[in-house]
């Protein structure tokens, strides 16, 4: 696990110094505090920060082949590198190190872009061919590792984090299109970023780039669901065996490996399987001192049942405000998912004792774990009615008062899936964004992103369609983005055994009735884990790391939020008076019926916390990256005076 930055000259004679490259690399020191390295010639400059995990002594980067033609910088882990090396050696390849990086390089020399199909793991890498003066870059199939790029007239830049690219541009210009999407999705959908011109290489893609020629990007992998009729027992057996194998290869490391542990089946499954391999496994969890918002006790019970050494930490609202600007700085783009907060703190605690952790991301998308995936089952009695009848029912329901029981059920049942589901989280509707934004653009309606995805899975059932949407949006834009940045903020490598191509292959074969039922989610995964996962977890509903935002924004964090909104220099973008009014409405726990376009009016609740949080997170992002209020560097800046000022409003 590491970080890289580099550039290719788009024009011969374009001026760039090693100092410029070092500034790009220094800002991501947190990704690799153990070592650094540089390579440059008249065409390319590459820089690297290393977190030493495998072949600690010899895994220095940038790494070249024996004759110096090819140079690579690589962020991630290739879990089948031992098997790949043996095959390559049998074909005559010789290796100078024991690193997985050199295996990628040897494989590329033999197979060029087709090498990506042999890699089992998480990766983002760039390979430079000195002879042809060509760059090749690739990102793993699920998007576990980040890959940013920026092209100007003079240079083509690449980096593990956007902040490296920002170090090479004069001024960050806000992407208005990305802002509108963020307010709906609570993250910036790929390939955009919140900064104009900075792009993300999408998962399952690679590129070729030659000086002075256009960037050429290709897709090499995409998730395809192929349900087959097979015995449930056999599929459950396959799931168990493949997960055991995936966890085993994900534990390959020359440094200690731990695991995150919440109160759900995903992390418990991974921890239980890891404990079979390492009896001395350590696990970590965090919670909040608020009833109903902590899984500390459940995780402790699980650890005791599994006989695992377990560590817990309770987070205070004061700590959240103190660390929030740094959290958002690490995220690069704003992500309004409050789960980033506990993830940041649990990574901090784990990093004090281990260098690698296993985590349960991806299980919900592969095996049908989100509660919303059960919605098609509950709506089928109305959604299967003739279209004409549904139109009449919807018209009637729209005229009913919000308080009428069943109104929302009728509306959702009469609304096509592609209109009501755009991913696991959905915040602002278009009408609500018109009220909030001063520069609303109707051509940026969120449906332009999901409609093409629905067209790719028209023949599948609704649950599989929802999974497909989440794999292309929510998983890569939210789940994996915060997992990478919050762990790397503390120089901790996070590995996700569920997101393995072999595990996906069996998950893709499951029919919907093996994923969700009226009683549960992840049905077959739970069956497969019987005897491995403790009984008190096996059928426990999903909770994760919940955050008491609703309570905080009414009490401890109300003054802080009010002050942040007033001080924010986002008047040119947002209707701040409207935001303040909604903050007051939330504190009073009521709906302001005088507001024509009311936030969450369709949900019939006065809880505006998630909507407010999205605005607050964006305002802090704006302070960090546009206003440059904090001046964060790779060094620890938690004592920054501006942060102390914000903490003063908590209480």
| Residue 199 neighbours by CB under 8 Å, 6+ apart | 148, 149, 150, 191, 192, 193
Distance from first CA to last CA of the chain, Å, rounded? Answer: 39
Q: Is residue 70 part of a domain?
A: yes
Closest CA to 73 of 92, 99, 91: 99
Whole-number Å distance between alpha carbons of 130 and 62: 13
The pLDDT, as a whole number, for residue 592 is 40
Number of domains in the chain: 3
Sole residue written with tokens 């405000």: 321
**DSSP conformation letters of 371-429:** GGGGHHHHHHHHHTS-HHHHHHHHHHHHTS-TTSTTHHHHHHHTS-HHHH-SSS-----
Q: Distance (Å, rounded) from C-alpha 598 to C-alpha 265?
A: 37
Are 80 and 50 in contact, with CB atoms under 8 Å apart?
no
**Is the model's pTM score more than 0.75?**
yes
The answer to the question of residue 34 being in a domain is: yes
Is the distance from CB of 513 to CB of 464 less than 8 angstroms? no
Of 163, 192, 219, the position where a domain reaches its end is 219
Residue 364 sits in the same domain as residue 251: yes
Give pairs for 296-304: CB < 8 Å, separation 24+.
298/262, 298/263, 298/536, 298/537, 298/540, 299/261, 299/262, 299/263, 301/534, 301/536, 302/261, 302/263, 302/268, 302/271, 302/534, 302/536, 302/537, 303/261, 303/271
Distance CA 643, CA 318 (A): 11
Residue, of 137 and 649, whose pLDDT is higher = 137
Residue 318 banded pLDDT, cuts 50, 70, 90: very high
Residue 254, pLDDT > 90, answer: no
Q: Are residues 483 and 347 in the same domain?
A: yes
What is the C-alpha to C-alpha distance for residues 133 and 159, in angstroms, rounded to an integer? 19
Tokens 């800046």 belong to residue = 637
201 and 256, same domain (yes or no): no
Is 144 in the same domain as 10?
A: yes
| Among the listed residues 359, 276, 260, 251, the one whose alpha carbon sits nearest the alpha carbon of residue 312 | 260
* Structural domain contains residue 592: no
Orientation of helix 232-250 relative to helix 265-277, angle to 10°: 60
List, in sequence order, every beta strand (DSSP E) within 599-648. none
Cα separation, 76 vs 99, whole angstroms: 12
Shared domain for 162 and 75, answered yes or no, is yes
**What is the overall mean pLDDT for the chain?**
90
Task: Mark which of 189, 219, 249 sits at the end of a domain.
Answer: 219
Residue 258 lies in a domain: yes
Tokens coding 11: 């024009």
Confidence class of residue 7 from pLDDT cuts 50, 70 and 90? very high
Give the whole-angstrom CA distance, residue 542 versus residue 529.
16
Tokens of 82: 């031992």
Question: Is 359 marked as binding a ligand?
Answer: yes
Examine the pLDDT at 55 and tell me if it is beyond 80.
no
3-state class of 47 per DSSP?
A: strand
Residues 340 and 394 reside in one and the same domain: no
Q: Are residues 360 and 377 in the same domain?
A: no
- Is residue 82 domain-shared with residue 7, that is, in the same domain? yes
Q: What pLDDT, on a 0 to 100 scale, did the predictor assign at position 263?
A: 86
Both tokens of residue 318?
Answer: 């004061």
Residues 32 and 97 in one domain: yes
Question: What gap in Å lies between CA 258 and CA 350, rounded to an integer?
Answer: 8
CA 301 and chain centroid, separation: 28
Q: Cα angle vertex 39, ends 38, 44, to 5°? A: 125
CATH number of the domain within which 485 lies: 3.40.50.620
pLDDT digits (tens, 9 = 90+) for 372-397: 999 999 998 898 889 899 889 988 98
Whether residue 348 is contained in a domain is answered as yes
* CATH code of the domain containing 118: 3.60.20.10
Q: Which of the 8 DSSP states describes residue 600?
A: T
Split at pLDDT 50, 70, 90, the class of 546 is confident
Transcribe 308-321 into DSSP letters.
-EEEEEEE-HHHHH
Q: Is 470 annotated as a binding residue?
A: no
**Closest CA relative to residue 427, chosen from 542, 497, 335, 538:** 335
* Structure confidence at residue 605 (pLDDT): 42
Q: Phi then psi for 445, rounded to 5 degrees?
A: -55, 140
Q: Which domain holds residue 153?
A: 2-219
Report CA-CA distances (Å) from 423 to 183, 373, 374. 13, 11, 14
pLDDT tens digits along 172-217: 789 999 999 999 999 999 999 999 999 999 999 999 999 989 999 9
Give 475-488 pLDDT, tens digit per residue.
999 999 999 999 99
Backbone angles phi, psi at 643, to 5 degrees: -70, -40
Of 469, 450, 301, the residue nearest 373 (C-alpha): 469
Collapsing DSSP to helix, strand or coil, 138 comes out as strand
* E strand or H helix at 644: helix 641-647
Asked if residue 179 and residue 39 are part of one domain, the reply reads yes
Which of these, 115, 118, 114, lies nearest to 105 by C-alpha position?
115
Least confident of 11-25, 142-156, 208-222: 11-25
Q: How far apart are CA 84 and CA 104, in angstroms?
A: 9
Cα distances from 247 to residues 275, 348, 494, 507, in angstroms, run 10, 23, 13, 16
User: Which letter does DSSP use for residue 172 in this model?
Assistant: P
**Is residue 297 included in any domain, yes or no?**
yes
- In this structure, what token pair is assigned to residue 358? 């296993």
Residue 15 pLDDT greater than 80, yes or no: no
Contact (Cβ atoms closer than 8 angstroms) between residue 562 and residue 580: yes
The whole-angstrom distance between residue 315's C-alpha and the CA centroid of its chain comes to 22
CA angle 127, 133, 137 (to 5 degrees): 25
Could you list the active site residues? 2
| 112 shares its domain with 185 | yes
Which secondary structure element, helix H or strand E, spans residue 282, and what is its range? strand 282-288
The CA-CA-CA angle for residues 134, 137, 140, to 5°, reads 165
CB 239, CB 524: distance < 8 Å: yes
> What pLDDT does 51 receive?
84
Q: Is residue 135 part of a domain?
A: yes
Report residue 13's pLDDT band, with 50, 70 and 90 as the boundaries: low
Beta strand segments in 425-560, E = 493-495
pLDDT of res. 644 = 38
Alpha-carbon gap, residue 434 to 391, rounded angstroms = 26
Q: Check the annotation: does 100 bind a ligand.
A: yes
Q: Is the pLDDT of residue 155 over 70?
A: yes
Task: Estimate the share of the chain in helix, then strand, then coil, as percent rounded to the nearest 5.
Answer: 45, 15, 40
Alpha carbon of 378 to those of 381, 413, 462: distances in Å? 7, 9, 12
Q: Confirm whether 594 is domain-assigned.
A: no
pLDDT of residue 172: 78
Does one domain contain both 215 and 242? no
Q: d(Cα 248, Cα 473) in Å, to the nearest integer?
A: 29
């Amino acid at each position: 696990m590491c970080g890289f930055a580099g550039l290719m000259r788009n024009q011969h004679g374009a001026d760039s110094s090693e100092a410029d490259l070092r500034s790009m690399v220094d800002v991501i020191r947190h990704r690799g505090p153990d070592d650094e390295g540089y390579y440059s010639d008249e065409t390319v400059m590459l820089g690297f920060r290393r977190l030493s995990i495998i072949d600690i002594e010899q895994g220095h980067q940038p790494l070249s082949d024996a004759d110096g033609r090819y140079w690579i910088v690589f962020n991630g882990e290739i879990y089948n590198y031992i098997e790949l090396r043996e095959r390559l050696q049998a074909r005559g390849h010789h290796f100078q190190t024991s690193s997985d990086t050199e295996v990628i390089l040897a494989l590329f020399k033999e197979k060029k872009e087709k090498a990506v199909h042999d890699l089992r793991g998480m990766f983002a890498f760039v390979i430079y061919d000195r002879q042809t003066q060509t760059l090749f870059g690739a990102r793993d199939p699920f998007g576990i590792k980040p890959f940013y790029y920026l092209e100007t007239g003079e240079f083509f830049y690449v980096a593990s984090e956007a902040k490296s690219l920002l170090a090479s541009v004069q001024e960050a210009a806000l992407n208005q299109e990305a802002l509108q999407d963020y307010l709906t999705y609570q993250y910036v959908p790929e390939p955009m970023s919140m900064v104009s011109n900075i792009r993300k290489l999408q998962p399952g893609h690679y590129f070729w780039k030659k000086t002075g020629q256009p960037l050429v990007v290709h897709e090499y992998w995409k998730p395809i669901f192929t349900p087959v009729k097979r015995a449930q027992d056999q599929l459950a057996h396959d799931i168990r065996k493949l997960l055991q194998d995936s966890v085993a290869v994900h534990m390959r490391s020359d440094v200690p490996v731990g695991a995150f542990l919440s109160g759900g089946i995903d992390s418990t499954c991974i921890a239980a399987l890891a404990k079979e391999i390492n009896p001395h496994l350590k696990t970590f969890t965090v919670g909040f001192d608020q009833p109903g918002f902590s899984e500390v006790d459940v995780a402790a019970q699980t650890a005791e049942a599994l006989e695992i050494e377990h560590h817990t930490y309770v987070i205070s609202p004061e700590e959240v405000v103190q660390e929030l600007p740094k959290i958002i700085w690490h995220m690069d783009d704003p992500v309004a998912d409050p789960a980033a907060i506990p993830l940041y703190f649990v990574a901090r605690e784990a990093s004090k004792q281990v260098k690698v952790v296993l985590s349960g991301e991806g299980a919900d998308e592969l095996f049908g774990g989100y509660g919303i995936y059960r919605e098609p089952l509950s709506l089928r009695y109305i959604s299967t009615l003739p279209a004409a009848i549904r139109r009449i029912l919807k018209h009637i329901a729209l005229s009913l008062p919000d308080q009428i029981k069943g109104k929302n059920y009728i509306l959702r049942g009469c609304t096509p899936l592609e209109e009501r589901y755009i991913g696991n989280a959905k915040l602002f509707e278009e009408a609500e964004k018109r009220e909030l934004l001063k520069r609303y653009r109707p051509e940026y309606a969120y449906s332009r992103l999901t409609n093409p995805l629905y067209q790719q899975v028209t023949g599948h059932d609704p649950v599989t369609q929802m999974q497909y949407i989440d794999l292309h949006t929510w998983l890569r834009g939210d789940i994996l983005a915060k997992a990478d940045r919050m762990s790397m903020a503390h120089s901790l490598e996070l590995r996700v055994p569920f997101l393995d191509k072999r595990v996906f292959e069996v998950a893709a074969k499951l029919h919907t009735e093996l994923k969700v039922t009226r009683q549960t989610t992840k049905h077959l995964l739970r069956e497969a884990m019987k005897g491995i996962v403790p009984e008190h977890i096996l059928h426990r509903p999903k909770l994760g790391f919940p955050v008491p935002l609703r309570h905080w924004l009414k009490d401890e964090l109300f003054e802080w939020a009010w002050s942040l909104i007033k001080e924010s220099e986002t008047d040119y973008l947002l209707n701040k008076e409207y935001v303040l009014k909604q903050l007051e409405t939330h504190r009073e726990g009521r709906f302001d019926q005088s507001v024509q376009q009311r936030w969450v009016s369709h949900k019939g609740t006065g809880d505006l916390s998630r909507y407010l949080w999205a605005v607050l997170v964006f305002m802090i992002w704006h302070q960090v990256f546009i206003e440059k209020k904090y001046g964060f560097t790779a060094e620890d800046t938690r004592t920054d005076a501006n942060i102390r000022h914000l903490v003063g409003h908590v209480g």
